[in-house]
């Protein structure tokens, strides 16, 4: 074979480059890559050798556009670093990978970025779309409806889903967690929210407000921060709460990371938990059970959500008629030492 290694440094290797090196036509190379069983062993070996020598990478996006089919599934999450998002993706990935589908992840962070991510990723002709949370933009919802793609909104009970929905009532979860604290005798109950633009987190706060108002308690002890829902944010915000409301006797945090950050800061300040301050969270991540004291939290089954979403998508992608599906999951209360 002629020496064509220099092509590596002169730009992207094309199908025609492989065909020229193998001494065959471009259509033969394309056939060998897509349906190798239709090409003779000798011809396939020549083409494979040319592909390896040139480092050719097939353009699957172009192939999907040409054929109208794709094995790419777009997944848009609020953050790639939060554990809840990671658990959801883990539940999604394996069942879909077993059937030959690949995930393309988008980190939306804010709702306006969610719209931009969605617009960009839809141009790659995906097979389906998964949105962690709810689509607040009516334009985005209409765009997805018109696309005809299978769409699953995950993590929250959506009143009018674009297509399918897997999740539970975050408002109900917030209500039940707050009722637990009220029944334990706490009256000055605050709420710490981070990334409040996320619809699921707003619903949790509404559940807290509902329970407080029903018991004729003040729903004024709330802090919304634009900081990420992390351990450091929880630790930093505790001081703000105690400065504003010294009478605070319980604090509901919108995620376990925030709550565990509060617990760490309580230890540093020698604030007894739950004697002086009760602390509760949402998600039931691994850290909740091993914190000190162990954290009372609402268990949100993110991995199960991912698995159920994958099952729904595979049914739809196999041609089964699955329309208007709303899978409601239970969010059980995990009572532990922090309350």
Structure tokens at 98: 């077993």
Q: Return the higher-pLDDT residue of 317 and 214.
A: 214
Token pair listed for 164: 């399918």
DSSP conformational letter for 123 = T
Q: Which residue has the tokens 């050719």?
A: 56
Q: How confident is the model at residue 324 (pLDDT cuts 50, 70, 90)?
A: low
pLDDT at 10 over 50: no
CB 181 within 8 A of CB 252: yes
pLDDT at 29 over 80: yes
CA-to-CA separations, 308 to 29, 93, 131, 250, in angstroms, rounded: 39, 11, 14, 35
For residue 274, what is the DSSP state? Answer: T
Residue from 328, 286, 333, 288 nearest 305 by CA: 328
What is the pLDDT confidence band of residue 8, given thresholds at 50, 70 and 90?
Answer: very low
CA-nearest of 133, 138, 174, 173 to 156 is 133
**What gap in Å lies between CA 297 and CA 335, rounded to an integer?**
7
How large is the average pLDDT for residues 70-90?
85
Q: Where are the alpha helices (DSSP H) in the chain?
A: 15-22, 26-34, 41-54, 60-67, 83-98, 111-122, 138-147, 170-183, 199-214, 231-244, 256-269, 286-290, 302-317
pLDDT of residue 323: 67
Report how far residue 335's alpha carbon sits from residue 330's, in angstroms, rounded to the nearest whole number.
Answer: 16
**Beta-carbon contacts of residue 190 (< 8 Å; ≥ 6 apart):** 221, 222, 223, 241, 245, 248, 250, 251, 252
Q: Are 43 and 28 in contact (CB under 8 A)?
A: yes
* pLDDT of res. 9: 42
Determine the Cα–Cα distance for residues 231 and 205; give it in Å rounded to an integer: 19
Stretch 121-136: mean pLDDT: 82
Mean pLDDT of the chain: 86
The structure tokens listed for 201 are: 């987190």
- The DSSP bridge partners found for residue 224 are 193
Are 75 and 45 a contacting pair, CB within 8 Å?
Answer: no
Mean pLDDT along residues 76-95: 87
Determine the average pLDDT of the residues in 112-137: 79
Q: Cβ distance 58 to 13 under 8 Å?
A: no
Torsion of the alpha carbons at 192, 284, 89 and 312, rounded to the nearest 10: -110
Range with lowest mean pLDDT among 158-167, 182-191, 209-218: 158-167
Q: Quote the CA–CA distance of 253 and 298 in Å, as a whole number.
A: 11
**Would you call the peptide bond into 274 cis, given omega within 30 degrees of 0 as the criterion?**
yes
Q: Which of 94-108, 189-203, 278-292 has the lowest mean pLDDT?
A: 189-203
CA atoms of 330 and 286, how far apart (whole Å): 19
């Amino acid at each position: 074979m002629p020496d064509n290694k220099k092509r590596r440094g002169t730009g992207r290797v094309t199908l025609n480059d492989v065909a020229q090196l193998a001494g065959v036509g471009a259509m033969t190379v394309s056939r060998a890559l897509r349906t190798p069983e239709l090409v003779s062993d000798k011809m396939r070996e020549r083409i494979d050798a040319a592909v390896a020598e040139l480092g050719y990478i097939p353009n699957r996006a172009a192939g999907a556009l040409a054929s109208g089919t794709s094995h790419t599934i777009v997944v848009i999450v609020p953050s790639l670093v939060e554990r809840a998002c990671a658990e959801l993706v883990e539940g999604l990935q394996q069942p879909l990978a077993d059937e030959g589908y690949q995930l393309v992840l988008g980190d939306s962070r804010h709702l306006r970025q969610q719209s931009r991510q969605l617009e960009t990723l839809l141009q790659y002709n995906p097979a389906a779309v998964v949105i962690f949370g709810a689509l607040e933009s009516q334009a985005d919802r209409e765009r997805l409806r018109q696309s005809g793609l299978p769409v699953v909104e995950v993590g929250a009970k959506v009143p009018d889903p674009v297509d399918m929905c897997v999740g539970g009532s975050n408002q109900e979860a917030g209500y039940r967690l707050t009722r637990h604290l009220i029944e334990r005798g706490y009256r000055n109950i605050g709420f710490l929210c981070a990334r409040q633009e996320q619809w699921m987190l707003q619903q949790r706060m509404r559940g807290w407000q509902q329970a407080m108002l029903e018991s004729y308690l003040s729903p004024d002890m709330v802090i919304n921060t634009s900081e990420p829902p992390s351990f450091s944010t929880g630790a930093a915000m505790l001081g703000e709460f105690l400065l504003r409301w010294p009478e605070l006797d319980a604090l509901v945090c919108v995620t376990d990371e925030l709550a565990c950050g509060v617990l760490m800061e309580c230890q540093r300040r020698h604030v007894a938990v739950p004697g002086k301050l009760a602390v509760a969270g949402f998600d039931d991540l691994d850290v909740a059970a091993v914190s000190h004291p162990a954290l009372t939290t609402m268990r949100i089954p993110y991995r199960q959500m991912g698995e159920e979403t994958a099952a729904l998508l595979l049914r739809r992608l196999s041609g089964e008629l699955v329309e208007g599906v709303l899978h409601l999951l239970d969010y059980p209360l995990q009572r532990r030492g922090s309350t």
